[in-house]
Structure 1
């Protein structure tokens, strides 16, 4: 996985807020945009960066695009951070 793209995507507060919204489940792009005081085009740009980084998946249903967290990539990042931190308590006691 390309951590560089993931961490670059996570560096922006709007993108982190989008990911937090998606914890509740898939959302249409317009519903996501309604939570922010920026243009729809700006939210679309942020969603594109998140998608390119693999952090979100998109699913076109009719005229709407629904976004959801890509938990496999989130899990990879968490595993890497956990390993960097030193793993779990059992590993520290070895």
Structure 2
């Protein structure tokens, strides 16, 4: 859970998740949406992957990233049980 909350505690990573909510994207496509370096985007994607918030799949010479909503559903379930 700590990795998840650390990942969500950054505005750039939350914006990446918003982009991936619309469609699966390559790292280059994600980087094009930001005014930061590609290595920085890769770092953010790595943190999101380690938190299980995104998945990646090799497609030819590119890696495509997708949002993993399963982990978010698990966290929401956990939060709901805290309220009971």
**How well do the aligned residues superpose, as a CA RMSD in angstroms?**
1.0
Number of residue-to-residue matches in the alignment: 84
Partner of 1:19: 17
What does 1:41-52 align with in structure 2 at a 5 Å threshold?
41-52=39-50
What secondary structure is seen at the aligned counterpart in 1 of 2:36? coil
Deviating 4+ runs (over 6 angstroms): none
What secondary structure is seen at the aligned counterpart in 1 of 2:57? strand
1:76 aligns to 2:67 (yes or no): no
Structure with greater Cα Rg: 1
Structure 1 or 2: more helix by fraction: 2
Unaligned runs of 5+ in 2: none
Unaligned runs of 5+ in 1: 88-94
Give, in angstroms, the shift of residue 57 of structure 1.
Answer: 0.2
For residues 13 and 63 of structure 1, what CA distance do their matches in structure 2 show? 29
Give, in angstroms, the shift of residue 82 of structure 1.
Answer: 2.3
Q: State the TM-score, normalized to the length of structure 2.
A: 0.93
Give, in angstroms, the shift of residue 83 of structure 1.
Answer: 2.3
